[in-house]
């Protein structure tokens, strides 16, 4: 359907080598987009090579997004690689640190906020001027159901994802009149490397499934449809929203 066709659009996927980021990158490419995947992990280069072998127009950039200057340089490089300004930005990078709140270290707090929240703002700010000039653009943040809930032993993660949901609304308010749609996806409990310890904890895993009406953990592929929708013209009057992809968990 042409509503969901992304042919020729230029996408920048931050955290593109992660479990959820990779799935969303796949979805955008399958819908016709060209893309640059940014990730701290060196495997981002191998991932891009693998996807190019499948016929996709995609490049990989290894970037430490805790460094604001590195973020700015990566946007310039992505624009050069894609031959024009970014049409679609997906902020999918995220890290987790766990400890009781009374013992949670300041270093872990700073690192989580830097990756999960500040980088999303800096990337958005870097792509916005060109989007404003062309009067179109899609910015998609990956928030979390922890944007709504407090979680256990994850004060920095909950704060960063709550902040990202509010940032989504603030940027939407500022930029919607310029044709830029800013939205967030809030994944629930997903079967990813980020949740390995939680999945291995039989008690906590059982609690998650008990509350999840779909009675399963989410899979990275569950993110593909919603990211294509938010990146496409099908969502041109959708902005400032936080869409749960959680098997019904947040509605329970």
Alpha-carbon span 79 to 85, nearest angstrom: 5
Provide the 8-state DSSP code for 148.
T
Q: What angle do CA 216, 115, 226 make, to 5 degrees?
A: 40
Active site residues: 157
The closest of 165, 170, 166 to 180, measured between CA atoms, is 170
Contact call for residues 11 and 28 (beta carbons, < 8 A): yes
Q: What angle do CA 10, 16, 21 make, to 5 degrees?
A: 105
Q: Which residue's structure tokens are 């819908």?
A: 31
Give me the count of residues in the chain.
252
Q: Give the up-direction half-sphere exposure of residue 240: CA atoms within 13 A in the CB hemisphere.
A: 11
């Amino acid at each position: 359907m042409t509503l969901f066709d992304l042919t020729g659009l230029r996408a920048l996927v931050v955290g593109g080598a992660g479990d959820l980021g990779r799935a969303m990158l796949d979805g955008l490419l399958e819908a016709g987009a060209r893309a640059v995947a940014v990730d701290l992990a060196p495997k981002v280069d191998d991932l891009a090579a693998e996807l190019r072998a499948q016929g996709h127009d995609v490049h990989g950039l290894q970037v430490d997004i805790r460094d604001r200057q590195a973020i700015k340089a990566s946007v310039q490089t992505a624009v050069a690689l894609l031959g024009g300004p970014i049409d679609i930005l997906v902020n999918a990078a995220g890290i987790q640190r766990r400890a009781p709140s009374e013992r949670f270290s300041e270093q872990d707090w700073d690192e989580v906020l830097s990756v999960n929240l500040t980088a999303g703002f800096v990337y958005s700010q870097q792509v916005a001027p060109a989007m404003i000039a062309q009067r179109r653009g899609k910015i998609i943040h990956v928030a979390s159901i922890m944007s709504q809930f407090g979680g256990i032993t994850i004060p920095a993660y909950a704060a960063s994802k709550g902040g990202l949901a509010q940032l989504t609304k603030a940027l939407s308010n500022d930029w919607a009149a310029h044709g830029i749609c800013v939205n967030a996806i809030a994944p629930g409990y997903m079967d990813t490397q980020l949740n390995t310890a939680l999945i291995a904890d039989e008690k906590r895993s059982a609690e998650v499934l008990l509350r999840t009406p779909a009675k399963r953990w989410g899979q990275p592929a569950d993110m593909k449809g919603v990211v294509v929708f938010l990146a496409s013209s099908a969502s041109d009057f959708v902005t400032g929203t936080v869409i749960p992809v959680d098997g019904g968990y947040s509605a329970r």
